[in-house]
Chains A and B, each alone.
Chain A
Amino acid sequence: MHHDRPPPAVMRSLDLHAAAALLSLVGVIVSVYLSAVDLSQGQVPLACANSGLVNCDLVTSSAQSRLGGVPVALLGVVWFAGMFGLLAFEDRLRLLASPALHLAWTGVGVLMVFYLVYAELFLIGAVCVWCTVVHVLVIGLFLLAVARSQPTT
């Protein structure tokens, strides 16, 4: 019997690509939900604790939940969708497959995560579980970009 199995290095690359695409998709979904909560002005309920340290309501309605008047959640939709786009079309457009581009894109995301965690801890005094999920996704995507940028042997 003859098997046409891709070499292990290619398999690893495909796995990382699929994992990154999955995280991006989950990020889009969570960010769309948080944007809907923000833009609907409370009509879409926020499923999260709203008292004490964990207070999604307070965080998502804080002054820091907007950048230049744009909801951070909406920026999250754009960022995750952009990441998904990079991954989806990198086969067709070689430029999109550039490891440097992926690292830069996700690096910006990680910097944003640091700012938002700082804002939660020092400026708002509360933590949002949904935001933490998004932060984990961003960091995960950054680490996958780092892994994908490593030369395969």
Chain B
Amino acid sequence: MVAIAAAVIVLLLAGLVAARLLTNMSPATPVGQPVPPSVMRALTSVPSADFEAVGRGTSNLPTAIRQPLARTADGRLLVTYIGAEYCPFCAAERWPLIVALSRFGQFSGLQLSQSAADDVYPSTPTFTFVGAAYTSQLITFDAVETAGNVRQNGRYPPLQALNPRQEQLLRTYDAPPYVPTNSAGAIPFLDVSNLYSVTGASFDPGVLQGRSWETIAATLTQSDSPQAGAILGTANVLSAAICQATDSQPAEVCGSPTVQALSQTLSQLPAAGARP
């Protein structure tokens, strides 16, 4: 009787494994799962020495807007992200954005995601801001993901609608003279309290290709890796931009030599909207 019971259990389990191997399902991916603690730790607890070792890394610089600071009603600085889950450039930019914002506050509810499998840089591992929350004494993070990452009837399904303020931001700062005409309306679009904006990814999303979330997270500790150069470098640039808005608060972030040096670099950027 015991042998029969054991045989039945083994057969059923073997059947499950065989079904998984034989079905034409694409490999199961953890997309939609909560970010594992090891990945979350790697993103939110980057040692200062690693930030310093990378410096600007391979990050592009943002566009200087230098308009009056955007704040919420409670006085917090407003950082706005507009992207979409299918977009590979958004996928890349979320990594440093999460790293940078985690120096000023705390994310919760982040889930694993990836860019569309049928776009350039297919299936770039990333996260989604849908369902996530961010708390900070200084910053309100306003994120919107406009579409999903799997086509339905030929198009990516809409996820979150832009509110009038976000639409206004896109019309104003994701358009000439802040971006070239052929990039107007491009995503990801990031607005750092109307001081700086980023349109598109700040680095080559190719450095994330073919890697898992865990592998990318692990490479952040290797300051000479392309991933650390891209993600931590961009996080440093974004931190410097945010520090200008927060009036150099908190000191442990904004007082770091790299952030201070990058802040000086950003200050020297000409405001894109200014006429000579």
- Chain B 18-31 interface mask (CB, 8 Å, partner A; 1/0): 00100001011110
New A-B contacts (15) at CB < 8 Å, excluding given A57-B214, A126-B30: A46-B37, A50-B36, A50-B214, A58-B36, A61-B33, A61-B37, A63-B32, A114-B13, A118-B16, A121-B17, A121-B28, A125-B28, A125-B30, A143-B9, A146-B5
The binding surface of chain A is classed by DSSP as helix
Does residue B41 face the partner (Cβ distance < 8 Å to A)?
Answer: yes
Partner among A42, A51, A147, A150 whose Cβ is within 8 Å of the Cβ of B214: A51
Contact between chains at B28 and A42 (CB < 8 Å) = no
Closest approach, in angstroms, between the C-beta of B8 and any C-beta of chain A? 10
Closest approach, in angstroms, between the C-beta of B7 and any C-beta of chain A? 11
Partner among B1, B35, B37, B212 whose Cβ is within 8 Å of the Cβ of A150: B1
What residue of chain B has the Cβ atom nearest to residue A140's Cβ? B6
Q: CA–CA, A63 to B30, complex, Å? A: 10
Tell me the chain B residues, 37-56 only, with Cβ under 8 Å from chain A.
Answer: 37-41
Q: CA–CA, A80 to B52, complex, Å? A: 49
Contacts of A61 in B (CB 8 A): 33-37
Does residue B2 face the partner (Cβ distance < 8 Å to A)?
Answer: yes
Q: A143-B5, A146-B2, A150-B1 are in contact. Are A114 and B33 (CB under 8 A)?
A: no
Q: A117-B13, A143-B6 are in contact. Are A62 and B214 (CB under 8 A)?
A: no
> Hey, which bits of chain A sit against chain B, CB under 8 A?
41-42, 46, 50-52, 55, 57-58, 61-63, 110, 114, 117-118, 121-126, 139, 142-143, 146-147, 150
Q: A50-B214, A55-B214, A122-B28 are in contact. Are A62 and B34 (CB under 8 A)?
A: yes
Number of interface residues of B (CB under 8 A): 29
Tell me the chain B residues, 198-253 only, with Cβ under 8 Å from chain A.
Answer: 212, 214-215, 218
Contact between chains at A51 and B2 (CB < 8 Å) = no
Does residue B12 face the partner (Cβ distance < 8 Å to A)?
Answer: yes
Tell me the chain B residues, 57-88 only, with Cβ under 8 Å from chain A.
Answer: none
Contacts of B32 in A (CB 8 A): 63
- Complex A-B, nearest 3 residue pairs according to Cβ-Cβ distance, in ascending order: A125-B28, A42-B37, A57-B36
Contacts of A57 in B (CB 8 A): 36-39, 214
What residue of chain A has the Cβ atom nearest to residue B34's Cβ? A61
Closest approach, in angstroms, between the C-beta of B201 and any C-beta of chain A? 25
Q: A50-B214, A150-B1 are in contact. Are A121 and B33 (CB under 8 A)?
A: no
Contacts of B30 in A (CB 8 A): 58, 62, 124-126
Closest approach, in angstroms, between the C-beta of B21 and any C-beta of chain A? 9
What residue of chain A has the Cβ atom nearest to residue B212's Cβ? A51
Q: CA–CA, A121 to B20, complex, Å? A: 7
Contacts of A150 in B (CB 8 A): 1-2
Q: A42-B41, A125-B29 are in contact. Are A139 and B9 (CB under 8 A)?
A: yes
Q: CA–CA, A47 to B17, complex, Å? A: 25
Contacts of B212 in A (CB 8 A): 51-52
| 19 CB-based A-B contacts, threshold 8 Å | A46-B38, A50-B38, A51-B212, A55-B36, A57-B38, A58-B214, A61-B35, A61-B37, A63-B34, A121-B16, A123-B28, A125-B30, A139-B6, A142-B5, A142-B9, A143-B2, A143-B5, A143-B9, A150-B1
Closest approach, in angstroms, between the C-beta of A47 and any C-beta of chain B? 12
Contact between chains at A146 and B1 (CB < 8 Å) = yes
Interface centre among B5, B6, B35, B37 (most CB of A within 10 A): B37
Closest approach, in angstroms, between the C-beta of B20 and any C-beta of chain A? 4
What residue of chain B has the Cβ atom nearest to residue A124's Cβ? B30
Interface centre among A58, A61, A110 (most CB of B within 10 A): A58
Q: CA–CA, A148 to B22, complex, Å? A: 37
